[in-house]
Amino acid sequence: MADQPVFLSNDVVARFLSYDELIPRLEEVLGKFSRGNSSDVVQPVRCVIPIHNHSGFLGLMPAYIAHEDTLCTKMVAFYRREENVNLPSTQATVLLFNPEYGNVTAVMDGLDITHKRTAAVSAISAKVMDGLDITHKRTAAVSAISAKLLMPAQSDVLCILGCGHQAVSHYEIFTKLFSFKEVRVCSRRLETAERFAAGVQGPVKVLSSAKEAVHGADIIITVTNSSKPVLFGEWVKPGAHIVAVGACRPDWRELDDVLMRDAVIYVDSREGAAVESGDIILSGAEVFAELGEVLNGTRPALRNKTTVFKSLGKFFPLRTGKIRFKE
Ligand SMILES: NC(=O)C1=CN([C@@H]2O[C@H](COP(=O)(O)OP(=O)(O)OC[C@H]3O[C@@H](n4cnc5c(N)ncnc54)[C@H](O)[C@@H]3O)[C@@H](O)[C@H]2O)C=CC1
Ligand SMILES: O=C([O-])C1=[NH+]CCC1
């Protein structure tokens, strides 16, 4: 009989993941995904069902990488929370499988469970993070990869629009990897931005107007749960790089038509963008490249142009080794 799956609580998984390992691992899988070898990397556009009563969605994101025999799925619930800011906008759980037997070997994150057994997790070569952190750190790491490839060579000013969970992980990784002379934030409510600024380590300038906040910025990250544009092309410095993380539904927007049509558009998955991104679908903007294509050298990184990376959150499987449990 198969072992029972282990529950990896937030604390446990948090210990197993560092950005230093996450970034190269994501670069590797983004590249592999964009080579389009579907018999190696199987990762369809996620299946999303509406949670009508709660203005939410549940997305199922299965993935299999044949050459390393990794089978997993992420399940993510996400919500439009413009009115009720006291509820989480995203919750995620990841299941790892034994690919040969089909049984679940680990359930990760989003679970506040103190399991009686001690989980001795051996040989997890690309580590895992806690539930929310899997989503937050993975998303921020892919955004950072886009910035490595696409932001102007001289980038002094970072601006973050939206001051929730993703803003924290994005701030964390962007200030770790790059050095900015100024970091600005703006959120729908001033007090949220002030709380954010007080909570992070390092100087942050809080602005009450998004237009002022993005003025002259070299890199702008939109991490809002808005369904209407929060960033307008006429505000944006030519040549800036925009990382658009929110608006993951076909009728949700963070960026306006002007920006979408003027910028060169990069995505994590063309297929996903065509189905899920309101910014792309409703503006009619053309996708220029997947990040993986840039990493593979098959499409160029047009750093001198205004660029948008539209992130939708493909879940790229973690590489896992054997998981062993001790009583
Ligand atoms: N692309 C991806 O891979 C992923 C995308 N997401 C999306 O990222 C977005 C942010 O997620 P979280 O940080 O977890 O949400 P959150 O709820 O923690 O934070 C959202 C922030 O946006 C702010 N906001 C809302 N409307 C705004 C507006 N009009 N102008 C400025 N700020 C505004 C809110 O006040 C809040 O500070 C959500 O839309 C979520 O669905 C989440 C996970 C992965
Ligand atoms: O990949 C992800 O976790 C999500 N994408 C959109 C909302 C959450």
DSSP string, 75-130: EEEEE--SS-TTS-SEEEEEEEE-TTT--EEEEESS-----SSEEE----SS----
> pLDDT at residue 117 above 60?
no
Residue nearest to atom 2 of ligand 2 (CA): 313
- Least confident segment among 35-44, 134-143, 188-197, 250-259: 35-44
> pLDDT at residue 124 above 60?
no
Quick count: other Cβ atoms within 10 Å of Cβ 5?
18
Residue nearest to atom 27 of ligand 1 (CA): 188
Residue nearest to atom 4 of ligand 2 (CA): 313
Q: How far is the CA of 225 from the centre of ligand 1 (A)?
A: 4
- How far apart, in whole angstroms, are the C-alpha atoms of residue 177 and residue 20? 10
Q: Using a 6 Å cutoff on CB, does residue 315 contact ligand 1?
A: no
- Least confident segment among 252-256, 275-279, 310-314, 323-327: 323-327
pLDDT in tens, 256-291: 999 999 999 999 999 999 999 999 999 999 999 999
For residue 83, name the pLDDT band (cuts at 50, 70, 90): low
- For residue 6, give the amino acid letter: V
Q: Using a 6 Å cutoff on CB, does residue 165 contact ligand 1?
A: yes
- Least confident segment among 29-33, 167-171, 208-212, 244-248: 29-33
Helix axes 165-177, 131-150, angle to 10 degrees: 50
Q: How far is the CA of 284 from the centre of ligand 2 (A)?
A: 22
Q: What percent of the chain stands above pLDDT 90?
A: 63
ipTM of model: 0.99
Q: Using a 6 Å cutoff on CB, does residue 280 contact ligand 2?
A: no
Q: Using a 6 Å cutoff on CB, does residue 143 contact ligand 1?
A: no
Q: Using a 6 Å cutoff on CB, does residue 131 contact ligand 2?
A: no
Q: Using a 6 Å cutoff on CB, does residue 313 contact ligand 2?
A: yes
Beta-bridge mates of residue 186: 161
Q: How far is the CA of 12 from the centre of ligand 2 (A)?
A: 22
Atom of ligand 1 nearest to the CA of 168: 13
Atom of ligand 2 nearest to the CA of 76: 3
> pLDDT at residue 20 above 70?
yes
- How far apart, in whole angstroms, are the C-alpha atoms of residue 92 and residue 111? 9
Residue nearest to atom 3 of ligand 1 (CA): 313
Q: Using a 6 Å cutoff on CB, does residue 248 contact ligand 2?
A: yes
Average pLDDT of the residues of the chain? 86
Which residue has 């601006």 as its token pair?
159
